[in-house]
Amino acid sequence: MSETDRRIVVLNTGSSSLKFAAYSLTPEAPPLLSGAVDGIGGTARLQWSGSSGDHPVQAANPHAAMEALAALANGPLSGNIVAFGHRIVHGGPDLNHSVLVDDTTLSRIEAVSPLAPLHNPPALDVLKGLQKRFPGVPHVACFDTAFHRGHPAVADRFAIPDSLYQDGVRRYGFHGLSYQYIAGAMKTQAPEIAGGKVVAAHLGSGASMCALVNGHSVDSSMGFTALDGLPMGTRSGSLDAGVILWLQQQKGWSVDKVEHFLYHDCGLQGMSGLSNDIRVLLASDAPLAKMAVEYFIYHTARTAGALAVSMGGIDGFVFTAGIGEHSIPIRARVLERLRWLGFDLDEAANAKGHGRITTETSRLHAFVIPTDEERVIARETLALLPPGRP
C-alpha cells in the first residue's frame, strides 16, 4: 500500500462543532480531506473539501457527529488510518506537551475537564468512541494549554495563597495550538517580525490574545479557564469575581445557573441581545449591537497594550481565526485604536485580507495569517507515533 493511502486523522472537537482533516504521512502536504460538522445539537450540517454545499446530518452531540462521519463511504474515517490526533483544550498543570493516549492520560484529562466543561468532555467522548471503533490504532492528545507553560510566574499566578497555586489554580492560557502554528508561519509569512515581540490575536467565537517573544508565549489574555480575557461570542471574558458573588447572594442563582450564564448568555450575544455573530452585529443599527462591537474592539486594543507591557515592547501584530482573518472593519478599527503605537493601516491591503496590512512606511507592521490547528496536531501526532508505526 502506498504512503498516500495511509493517513493520520485529526479531530478538533468543540461544543457545537467537529472539525476534521485527514493527512498523508507527510503533514506538510495539503490534507487529503478536511471539513467540519457545524451546528451540533441543532440543525447540524456537514461540509468537506470536494463536496458541493452543506449536507444535513443527525448530530445531537459531537460523538454522534463522529458516528455520522464513520458512516461516510469515503469520508475522513475511511482508508488505512495509522493514528488519530485530537485537540484537547485543557491539560491542567502537568500535561504540558502532546502525549500518546493511555488509560493514565485519559484519567488525567478527565480530572481537569471541569476547567473546560464545553470542550474537554466532548473531545473525550469522540476519542473514546474512536477507540472502540478502531481498536489498536494509537491516539495522540494535543493540548491548547501546553504552548503557554513557559510563562514567568508573575504572568501565571493569581494573588491567592500559594497552596491554591500548588492545587493548580493558575493562569493557563488557551488557543495554544493556533499560536504554535502562527509562531512557525511568521518565519515565512512575516519574517520581519517573527523573531521579535508580537501580539497575536486569535479572534473568533472564542477569542484570546498572546504575547510572543521570538515565537515563544510569555503571556496570554486567557486564564484559569477559557472564560477569561476578551469578550467572546457567548462567553463573558474578564469579569469582576464580585459579580458572581452578587448573582448567587442577591439573585439566588445556583452554581449551575451561573456557569450556564457565563458560557452561553454573555459576550457579544449577551451585550447585544441580538447575536453572537460579529457580522450580524456590524450590519445592525441597534444601539446595543453597536455597543457590543465597540466593546469587542476596545478590549482587543486594550489587551494589546497590556501584552506589550508583558513583552517590554512591541514589534508587530498578527490577526488570525474567524474574525481576525475575515472581518475587514474589525481589523481596521482595532488598528485605528493602536495607531498611536505606530500602526498605519493600508486600506487596500486590509481589504485583501492576507499578508501585511500596514503601509510600507508604517513604524510597526500588522499581518493577517490564517491559522491551522489541524496541521499542528498532525505534526505532533506523526512525531509521537510508536516505533514501527507507520
Q: Tell me how crowded residue 337 is: count the other CB atoms within 10 A of its CB.
A: 16
Residues belonging to the active site: 144
Per-residue DSSP letters for 179-243? HHHHHHHHHHHSHHHHTSEEEEEE-SSS-EEEEEETTEEEEES--SSTTSSS--SS---S--HHH
Q: Which residues of 249-281 are buried (b: 16+ CB within 10 A; e: fewer)?
A: eeeebeeeebbebbbbebbbbbbbeebbbbeeb
Q: For residues 268 and 134, give the distance between their C-alpha atoms in angstroms, rounded to a whole number.
A: 40
Q: For residues 246 and 166, give the distance between their C-alpha atoms in angstroms, rounded to a whole number.
A: 28
Order of strands across the sheet with 80-88? Answer: 55-56, 45-48, 33-38, 17-23, 6-13, 80-88, 139-143, 99-100
Q: For residues 159 and 241, give the distance between their C-alpha atoms in angstroms, rounded to a whole number.
A: 13
Q: For residues 77 and 23, give the distance between their C-alpha atoms in angstroms, rounded to a whole number.
A: 11
Burial class (CB in 10 A: 0-12, 13-18, 19+), 340: exposed
343-349: long-range contacts, CB 8 A cutoff, minimum separation 24: 343/317
Terminus-to-terminus CA distance in the chain, angstroms? 12
E strands of the chain, at which residues? Answer: 6-13, 17-23, 33-38, 45-48, 55-56, 80-88, 99-100, 139-143, 197-202, 208-213, 216-220, 316-320, 355-356, 365-368
